[in-house]
Amino acid sequence: MSLDDGHYKKVLDNLYDGIYLLSEDRKIIYWNNGAETHTGYSKSEVINLPCHKVLMHVDDKGKSLCNDSCPVSQTIQDNTLREVEVYIRHKEGHRIPVSMRIAPIKDSNNQVVVAVEICGEGSPKFTLQQKLREMKDLALLDPLSELGNRRFLEMNIKGKIEELERYKWPFGILFADIDHFKGINDTYGHDSGDRVIQMVSKTMSNSLRSFDVMGRWGGEEFVVIVVNVDEEQLYAVADRLRFLVDQSSISIGSETVNVTVSIGATLGKPDDDINTILSRADRLMYESKRAGRNCISINSEKEACSRS
């Protein structure tokens, strides 16, 4: 069956996972319905464009993979199947984590074509949709970000404190604030500010483990509850979130708008209550603001602000 076979394309179009085909010069020559669902880009928007103009792949450190580290180019060169974990840029601007399988094949003219399969986390997200409905019914959902609200966060933090006291299960808190957010609202309007909040919330929440919890504390502030971590691991999670937000953007008219976040990070202590741990994380977040923004302050024997 050739790559131009209509039946072949019909089968691919009905797969949930995203599939797209690239020519040897990495231009998109086929884009299935699953790829549209995962990325937000329609076929008409991407066909014949170089893939790096559309998806802008980065690793978990925010490093671009579209040049020297391009896995597609490597597959074209060595004819080897590859599987990579990357973050792609959704049309709405936020980053999403995907697993990609990259395979070399030949079309009916014996030309090398690269097939890329995008596998999002979880396949059909009925569980997530059900969870959102339940949170909405219980008045625990923030409607703008579609994250848990302050009440939801307080309930979860209380539970983690109780687990720490009873079972010694460690957890950490990240308090994140969008930098210069007032300037976004003043320059572009509150609708654009809402889009920035949605972009940041999706980028960060999509990049967490399934058992970690994120919510919107209020305004441009977010709280993340990270379980079963030590201080080094907590910092690594915070740094990944910071990198990925820095690599996300939205389009406002002809402009591309990027934002950053300042993060305060702290581990739970046996004598903590909700107020003490959140106050500590909030204070550390302001340390990051004072240190120049787009960085992380984590409490240890010596509090330090770091960014790569």
Give me the active site residues, please: 220
Neighbours of 3 (CB within 10 A): 17
> What's the token pair of residue 143?
């409607």
Determine the Cα–Cα distance for residues 67 and 59; give it in Å rounded to an integer: 13
Residue type, 11: V
Task: Report the half-sphere exposure of 87 (CA within 13 A, side-chain side).
Answer: 26
Neighbours of 25 (CB within 10 A): 7
**3-state class (DSSP) for residue 85:** strand
Give Cα 49 distance to the centre of its chain: 24
Beta strands in 153-279 (DSSP E): 171-178, 213-218, 221-227, 250-252, 255-257, 261-267
